[in-house]
């Protein structure tokens, strides 16, 4: 299964997964910041984009093409809409996989209005011919429409109005250099700091009309994996719990109790993440162990372990991928309240991961 594919309707809902599910998509529109001032965090990208747009506005010109790269749920789609809003321009939304043929792209490009923002999500998944057409469109505001077939085919050049391409990708490394070079500005989105996520949570709680205190927001922020989409999703689940089990107000205790029910621990690990770590520690003494063996031990597909659980575990410094296999770090042992074999002298008991 391809977990990068947000349009894959068979992807099971996962509370801490960064891919958007149906409910997210419905709520995300309502929770999206509408302008740069409302957009929380990403100071660097925000400052840089602000300059790009201000300068373009002052010149009365169309903003340069913008590439936004970063992990799912960090705000790429949100920023693209903000760019259009700040430039006072309409926005057209499409995605790499939606453009099968160069002709599809030609149709979109030739119907753009002057100054319009074209948002191309998952730009790394575009077909080769479409990509080549895009090179010319970005650089010269021109496309060649091919009429006819074989030796008699002719290219009819078509002038395009100036437009701003905003490309988004979770895999900037997969973009061919000629495409990457045609963007006037590339913004790299980073994972959010806990304090920034707290602000995201307070803002969303406000919009959802949910009462939450500072500590409640901090509790959720700490478990959100640096990702606003996950913060918003956990907030909604904690709200449910607060409504059913308490008076609706989210405090630290309520947040901790709710997230224990959903099996999201104090560092944001969910059941699968912990199962992987537990197998690695308890069955294989911390590794190294091969990915396939590890996957069998937790009863999951290899791909699920590799693409769903591991990236976060690696980022958190709990697991390392080595040429000889997967290895647990000392932090993994202490997170699960276990003692590494070589240092088995102090018996520190199982700690309460859910913080209840
Ligand atoms: N800086 C931010 N401030 C407040 N909310 C944010 C911010 N960034 C993202 N969000 C919220 O997080 C959710 C996900 O953001 P968005 O859809 O823009 O992510 P994305 O990077 O496009 O993800 P994907 O790669 O899956 O398409 C949205 O509901 C948005 O409101
Ligand atoms: Mg998006």
What pLDDT does residue 11 have? 45
- Ranges of CATH 1.10.10.10 domains, the chain: 271-335
Residue 2: pLDDT above 60?
A: no
In this model, does residue 8 exceed pLDDT 70? Answer: no
Residues in the chain, total: 356
CATH class of 14-188: alpha beta
Question: Is the CB of 125 inside a 6 Å radius of any atom of ligand 1?
Answer: no
Which residues make up the CATH 1.10.8.60 domain(s) of the chain? 194-261
Mean predicted confidence (pLDDT) in 210-236: 96
Mean pLDDT, residues 37-53 taken together: 96
Average pLDDT over residues 70-74: 92
Q: Looking at domain 271-335, does it have CATH number 1.20.950.20?
A: no
Q: At what angle do helices 228-245 and 22-31 cross, to 10 degrees?
A: 100
How high is the pLDDT of residue 350? 55
- The pLDDT score that the predictor gives to residue 351 is 59
* CATH class in words for 194-261: mainly alpha
> Per residue in 139-169, pLDDT tens?
999 998 888 888 888 888 899 999 999 999 9
Mutate to test the pocket of ligand 1, among 29, 229, 232, 236 (most ligand atoms within 8 A of CB): 229
* Number of Cβ within a 10 Å radius of residue 263: 16
pLDDT higher than 70, residue 173: yes
Neighbours of 30 (CB within 10 A): 9
Ligand 2: distance of its center to the CA of 212 in Å?
Answer: 27
324: buried, middle or exposed (CB in 10 Å: 19+, 13-18, 0-12)?
exposed
Question: What pLDDT is recorded for position 13?
Answer: 58
Domain(s) labelled CATH 3.40.50.300 in the chain stretch across: 14-188
pLDDT at 3 over 50: no
pLDDT at 356: 65
Atom of ligand 1 at shortest range from CA of 189: 21
**The predicted structure's pLDDT at residue 67:** 97
pLDDT tens, 270-288? 999 999 999 999 999 998 9
Residue 24: what pLDDT? 81
Report angle CA 156, 125, 27 to the nearest 5 degrees: 115
Sequence-distant contacts of 236-239: CB under 8 A, at least 24 apart? 236/23, 236/27, 236/208, 237/15, 237/262, 239/205, 239/208, 239/210
């Amino acid at each position: 299964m391809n977990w990068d594919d947000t349009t894959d309707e068979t992807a099971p809902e996962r509370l801490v997964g960064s891919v958007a599910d149906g409910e997210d998509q419905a709520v995300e529109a309502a929770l999206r910041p509408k302008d740069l001032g409302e957009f929380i965090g990403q100071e660097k990208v925000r400052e840089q984009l602000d300059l790009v747009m201000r300068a373009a506005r002052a010149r009365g010109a169309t903003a340069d093409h913008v590439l936004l790269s970063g992990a799912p749920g960090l705000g790429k789609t949100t920023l693209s809409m903000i760019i259009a809003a700040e430039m006072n321009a309409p926005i057209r939304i499409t995605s790499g996989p939606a453009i099968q043929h160069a002709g599809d792209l030609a149709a979109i490009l030739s119907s753009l209005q002057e100054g319009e923002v074209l948002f191309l999500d998952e730009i790394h998944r575009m077909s080769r011919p479409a990509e080549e057409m895009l090179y010319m469109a970005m650089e010269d505001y021109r496309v060649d429409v091919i009429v006819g077939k074989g030796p008699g085919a002719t290219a009819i050049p078509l002038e395009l109005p100036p437009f701003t391409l905003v490309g988004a990708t979770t895999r900037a490394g997969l973009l061919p250099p000629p495409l990457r070079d045609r963007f006037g500005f590339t913004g790299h989105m980073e994972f959010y700091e806990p304090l920034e996520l707290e602000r995201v949570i307070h803002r969303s709680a406000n919009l959802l009309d949910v009462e939450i205190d500072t500590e409640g927001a901090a509790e959720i922020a700490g478990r959100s994996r640096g990702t606003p989409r996950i913060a918003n999703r956990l907030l909604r689940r904690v709200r449910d719990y607060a409504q059913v089990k308490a008076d609706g107000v989210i405090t630290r205790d309520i947040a901790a109790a709710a997230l224990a029910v959903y099996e999201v621990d104090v560092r944001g690990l969910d059941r699968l993440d912990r199962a992987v770590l537990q197998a690695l520690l308890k069955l294989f003494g911390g590794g190294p162990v091969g990915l396939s063996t590890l996957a069998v031990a937790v009863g999951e597909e290899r791909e699920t372990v590799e693409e769903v659980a591991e990236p976060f575990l690696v980022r958190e410094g709990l697991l390392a991928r080595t040429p000889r296999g997967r290895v647990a770090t000392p932090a993994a042992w202490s997170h699960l309240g276990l003692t590494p074999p070589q240092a088995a002298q102090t018996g520190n008991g199982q700690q309460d991961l859910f913080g209840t």
